[in-house]
């Protein structure tokens, strides 16, 4: 579960969604990492975003180096002040920013891109876990097209690997649209365990449910 931020910086715009997400991210990093690890963890998440010509990497790094990492309110406020140019970019050029977010996600270890919406990971039990990349500014019709194409690609992967018995997913989308998941062939299992929520969805304020589609159903519907 997300931890509340005790104090927010005066004069900072905390109403936009990008600011809210940044506050939650900074707060979670403060709670989950030691003092010496906090700023490096922030920088790790900005690596690909620094490639944008709209962003002055040196300026942001310099500001982050002066952030007090031992006090939570000061840390969160300092991080938000330092990355303000990125937050402005997210608000003024949302589609461009989302594309960079997706590239950042797809570059992570174990993340296997299917298309601009769907990616997956191999789980420890030999199955697959499907994820949805940021696409808030993509039309509903295009998202559904990408989703169905993604499931077709996953079906091909599953067919080629007989040890895969199911594809699982966990998201606020499942909680918000269970009928859609059922129409796609998934079984909806309800809310994820609290321990899993704390570990994997600490920054998510919405309900998170999980679902799965069996090997046989996936191959029957999408091949």
**pTM attached to this predicted model:** 0.79
pLDDT of residue 15: 64
How large is the average pLDDT for residues 86-93?
Answer: 92
Contact 22, 8 (CB under 8 A): no
User: For residues 208 and 131, what is the distance between their CA atoms, to the nearest angstrom?
Assistant: 13
Statement: residue 7 has pLDDT above 60: no
Percent pLDDT > 70 in the chain is 93
Label residues 98-118 b or e (16+ Cβ within 10 Å = b).
bbbbbebeeeeeeeebbebbb
**Which alpha helices (H) appear in 83-177, and where do they start and end?**
84-92, 94-106, 140-160, 172-176
Q: Does domain 110-222 have CATH number 3.40.630.30?
A: yes
pLDDT of residue 204: 86
Domain boundaries, the chain: 17-95, 110-222
Sorted by sequence, the CB contacts under 8 Å of residue 99 that are 6+ apart come out as none
pLDDT of residue 166: 97
Statement: residue 191 has pLDDT above 60: yes
pLDDT, the chain, mean: 90
* Half-sphere exposure in the Cβ direction for 154 (13 Å, CA): 35
């Amino acid at each position: 579960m997300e931890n509340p931020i005790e104090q927010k910086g005066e004069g900072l715009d905390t109403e936009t969604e990008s600011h809210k997400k940044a506050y939650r991210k900074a707060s979670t990093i403060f709670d989950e990492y030691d003092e010496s690890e906090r700023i490096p963890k922030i920088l790790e998440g900005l690596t690909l975003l620094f490639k944008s010509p709209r962003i002055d990497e040196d300026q942001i790094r310099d500001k982050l180096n002066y952030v007090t990492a031992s006090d939570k309110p000061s840390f969160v406020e300092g991080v938000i002040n330092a990355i303000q140019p990125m937050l402005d970019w997210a608000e003024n050029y949302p589609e461009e920013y989302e594309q960079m977010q997706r590239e950042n996600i797809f570059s992570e270890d174990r993340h296997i891109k299917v298309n601009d919406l769907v990616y997956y990971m191999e789980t420890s039990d030999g199955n697959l876990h499907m994820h949805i990349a940021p696409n808030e500014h993509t039309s509903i019709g295009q998202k559904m097209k990408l989703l169905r194409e993604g499931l077709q690609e996953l079906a091909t992967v599953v067919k080629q690997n007989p040890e895969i018995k199911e594809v699982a997913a966990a998201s606020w989308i499942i909680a918000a649209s269970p009928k859609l998941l059922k129409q796609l062939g998934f079984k909806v299992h309800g809310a994820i365990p609290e321990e899993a929520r704390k570990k994997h969805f600490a920054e998510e304020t919405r309900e998170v449910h999980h679902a799965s589609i069996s090997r046989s159903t996936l191959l029957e519907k999408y091949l």
